[in-house]
Amino acid sequence: MSLSRRLTVLAAALIGCTLPAAAPAHAVVGGTEAKAADPPWLAAVGTPLFFPRASGQFCGGALIAPDRVLTAAHCVQLAQLLPQALTVTFDRSDLTSPDGTTVAVTDVHLHPDFHTDTVDGVDVFHHDLAILTLAHPQNRATVPIAAPQGDTATVLGWGGIAAGDLLNTVLREATVPIVSDTDCAAAYPGAFDATDMVCAGSTTADTGEFDSGGPLLIDGKLVGITSWARGTALAGYPTVYARIPASF
């Protein structure tokens, strides 16, 4: 996902050289179209200043409390300097439409242990979690959080539908296999840390550009946040998701 990292830097530059350090990190590959209102807690995170994408979207997020959205820290690291430049949009299945509800952000809180490494040419994000405080509480369902237990999971996002695709604007979902910690550590030696990461994905179902910060779900519960990987749907390199602690 080196391309996604470059696009993230572009997003930051377009926000007045201050913001979203971030993270177009993924696109749902091998999935089907979905309706944003079906998971009412699903959010598109963006800024009006990010002109390359419809709705200014560059990451995903999940409503975990009426005024709190969980996303990836690398998506919004620079936005701490100007959180008001960020927006969160609900119920918009196609980013080119005016549908849904858009809410301003008033605060960005990163996980205190969030940090970045580069291992074998791949950007690695540790404790890649951030909470966005919304200007107005939302009267909608929130998503429950759980530990990642199971063989398969669901991913959602507005990202590309193949490696290098930057044009998709329609929400998609896919079922992805959970990859064991042992296999993920073998795929990313010296980078994968099972204490704060979990892996999922295959060559036929994965996330991609502009899916960072989006949900990894098992039985309708949020078990991870799309974080980083080498490529998209690349054999031997599953996507890494940030595990969600009880609090931070």
What positions carry a catalytic annotation? Answer: 74, 123, 212
Work out the number of other CB atoms within 10 angstroms of the CB of residue 96.
Answer: 10
Phi–psi pair at 179, nearest 5 degrees: -100, 135
For 151-170, what is the HEC assignment? CEEEEEECCCCCCCCCCCCE
| Inter-residue contact 53 to 128 (CB < 8 Å) | no
Q: Is 149 exposed, middle or buried (0-12, 13-18, 19+ CB in 10 A)?
A: exposed
Q: Is the Cβ–Cβ distance between 165 and 152 less than 8 Å? A: no
Which of 129, 158, 157, 152 lies closest to 64, judged by CA? 129
Q: What is the largest CA-CA distance in the chain?
A: 45
Q: What are phi and psi of 186, to 5 degrees?
A: -70, -35
Q: With b meaning 16 or more CB within 10 Å and e meaning fewer, what string describes 191-207?
A: bbbeebbbbbbbeebbb
Which of 18, 8, 104 lies closest to 59, judged by CA?
Answer: 8
